[in-house]
Structure 1
Amino acid sequence: MTQRELADRAGLSPKHVNQLIHGLVRLTPDVAESLERVVGTPARLWNRLEADYQSTRTRLRYTRDLEQYAGWLKELPVSELVKRNVLPEEPKDGPSRIDQLLAFFAVATVDVWRDMYERPTACAFRKSKVQDSKLGSLATWLRLGELEALQIRCAPYDATELKRSLPDLRALTTMSAREFRPKLQEICSRSGVAVVFVEEVKGARVSGVTRKIGSKRVIQLSLRYRTDDQLWFSFFHEVHHVLNADDEMRIEIADKTDHEDPRELEADRFAADALIPPQYAHRLADLTSKTQVRAFADEMGIAPGIVVGRLQREHPRRWPYRNGNDLKRSLDLLEV
């Protein structure tokens, strides 16, 4: 059957039939019905073929568009995500890998990714605080925590309940990582707070973050320093941000102390006071031996490593960095 004869039998113009054959116009349901009557092939088949054809065209165009973002791959810790079994080993690069990363971040395009991860960071924090962190690594670490936090069921957020839980949370400092993790997450989830531990992604240089995801408040910790004093100080620092209804994402960059931000200074003071109440803190200056540190820690009901960490920060001459480190408990993220 010639194109003209097909056009005459289907009630279409020869030009329209020619455009259909060359894929220049869509095959509509009405045309599909006409073709069923003329050539006997069911309209549902024509419609399915048309849908598959258009889907393939879109995918090919999408793949070509992705090629322009090849440089984005270099910004992200792809090998780290493969190592953590988040991404498959293949392909090594190219549009398919970019497609996998977009799915991991749950965004449609690289431009959307930049809107989500560049603008909030640039607006919420002074550049000097985040300039030493690689954005791709930081975004990846944040996304890993977000995915984990979504798996934790929480009650509606209740600041009063969280405040009421502070003594119970403080008591967990004497436990091993294997013991305190489930208890910590359970206590906090009753207050509407999801606590997640995500190993730091190389280049992120981050110790912790607080943010709001849906109705949840999330505290994400990296265990960068892998000692109990650092972990618990970071945790209670983040708790302060949560209690103060600071819904703005607050990222604590490792080795960076913002002495100009009163909110960060308040969070540091809250953490110090939560672990060692002010009415007992004056006695720290009298501690000169590990035996005294252990006795004081037992009296306070906290881990001795926390006392050592406080002494190293506030009395560095008497307690230099290496003094008493054997009292700190090392933490393995696999255990936590």
Structure 2
Amino acid sequence: MTELSAPFAPDWVSPPGETVLDIVEERGWTQAELALRLGYSEKHVSHLINGKVPLSVDAALRLERVLGSSADFWLAREANFQRHKARLEAAKRHATWAGWLDELPLKELMACGAVPKMRADAKNKPRLVEACLRFFGVASPDEWRNLYAGMHVAFRRSREDQSDVGAISAWLRLGEQQAEKLDGPKYDKARFEKALVAIRALTREQPQVFEPKLRSLLQDAGVLLVLVPAIPRAHVSGVARWLSPTRPLIQLSLYGKTNDKFWFSFFHEAAHILLHANSPEDKKSIFLDDPNAAHTTDPREHEANTWAGNCLIPEQHASTLAKLRTKRKAEEFAQAIGVHPGIVVGRLQHDGYIEPSWMNDLKQSFSLEASACAQPACAGSSGS
């Protein structure tokens, strides 16, 4: 993509009074005579000509009668003047907000087309500020901070110093934009519970098979699903949140890119939707999950972890799971309980029964092929 330079944008714009003055001078009138004809004081006419007072509907009608041009013309001239003046004032404010850009993952936002690709030099920074404000749907960086940094986020951070609000907010906003394009019925908890049973069986399928079925099952239950590639420094595997009281969203990043991580993240976020939305206040929480978090003190995260783990590998199979040490046994066990072998391997590694380097060839690798700004799809391949 070609980088854009700032387009020509003059830093001046004339008030409609200049047009009034041109006509008056052509007719050989003085401002005093114009004031007399309009029925205004000379001071008011002077202010009108110099753009110090806005041109009102009353003034437009008087100018129509005195100078001949329509009232619509004068009002349009005034509106254009005020609009350009406001844009110039906004550009000055944007220049003072340029430091905000340092908090945002501009490179990634440009790469996916969320903001125009351009050099982040002093001349372009006001345009970049405007583009980022439009992307986030806020009027200023202060509103951005109030909206995103002030969110009630339940975030399992093991590396808090390496995660930043700018990257996280950008990733969340990309998901919001995808979700805004999706339609569906209101959330139905009973249908969601039924869908999750069917979705568990999809863990054995290839991504090109399970993804459309997964989306369809969730849509029927009123749950939105979006896949947004991970953004550096965000360190998120997924998020569960409510965009409205009847529209829950599960957003996944494929952080880790293997099916054991994908499916655990999915069922973990599903647990938040299912278990932790019992009141309007609950639905204000955003459960943003770091895949590398070592621990969390939030009991809701523990509950979601336990629920997801037991959903994929029911607790009654724990003793059998603990004894698995070969690929053949892991595959037989996975077949018996109806999940992909990679999920079994991931659980064995997580629980410390085998080394992290063992049996990884039983896992399935995923990747996001489409842009985060479009409707993405999964692609799968076998690999270690």
State whether TM-score is above 0.5: yes
> For residue 67 of structure 1, what is the aligned residue in structure 2?
95
> For residue 326 of structure 2, what is the aligned residue in structure 1?
289
TM (normalized to structure 2)? 0.83
1:176 matched to 2:206? The reply is yes
Q: Is contact 1:130-1:253 (8 Å) kept? A: no
2:357 is matched with which residue: 322, 329, 334?
A: 322
Amino acid at match of 2:71: A
Q: Is contact 1:20-1:27 (8 Å) kept? A: yes
Amino acid at match of 1:325: N
Amino acid at match of 2:228: V
Q: Measure the CA separation in 2 of the matches of 1:162 and 1:85.
A: 33
Q: Measure the CA separation in 2 of the matches of 1:51 and 1:32.
A: 12
| CA positional deviation for 1:125 | 5.2
1:58-110 Cα distance to aligned partner (Å, 9 max, x none): 11111111111101111111111111122222363311111111111111111
Q: Measure the CA separation in 2 of the matches of 1:108 and 1:263.
A: 34
What does 1:92-171 align with in structure 2 at a 5 Å threshold?
A: 92=120, 93-121=124-152, 124=154, 130-171=160-201
Aligned length: 333
Q: Is contact 1:240-1:271 (8 Å) kept? A: yes
Q: Measure the CA separation in 2 of the matches of 1:250 and 1:297.
A: 29
> For residue 5 of structure 1, what is the aligned residue in structure 2?
33
Percent of aligned pairs with the same amino acid: 41
1:307 matched to 2:344? The reply is yes
Q: Residues 216 and 108 from structure 1, CA distance in 2 versus in 1: closer, same or farther, beyond 3 angstroms?
A: same
Q: Measure the CA separation in 2 of the matches of 1:37 and 1:148.
A: 53
SS in structure 2 of the partner of residue 331 of structure 1: strand
Q: Measure the CA separation in 2 of the matches of 1:150 and 1:42.
A: 43
Q: Measure the CA separation in 1 of the matches of 2:350 and 2:264.
A: 12
RMSD between aligned residues:
1.6
1:233 matched to 2:264? The reply is yes
1:49 matched to 2:73? The reply is no
Q: Which has the higher helix share?
A: 1
1:272 matched to 2:331? The reply is no
Q: Measure the CA separation in 1 of the matches of 2:74 and 2:89.
A: 22
Q: Measure the CA separation in 2 of the matches of 1:138 and 1:250.
A: 12
| CA positional deviation for 1:127 | 8.0
1:203 matched to 2:233? The reply is yes
Q: What residue ranges of structure 1 are gaps of 5+ in the alignment?
A: none
Q: Is contact 1:129-1:258 (8 Å) kept? A: no
Report which structure shows greater RCO (CA 8 Å, sep ≥6): 2
Q: Measure the CA separation in 1 of the matches of 2:226 and 2:166.
A: 20
Q: Measure the CA separation in 2 of the matches of 1:139 and 1:220.
A: 13
> For residue 250 of structure 1, what is the aligned residue in structure 2?
287
> For residue 333 of structure 1, what is the aligned residue in structure 2?
368
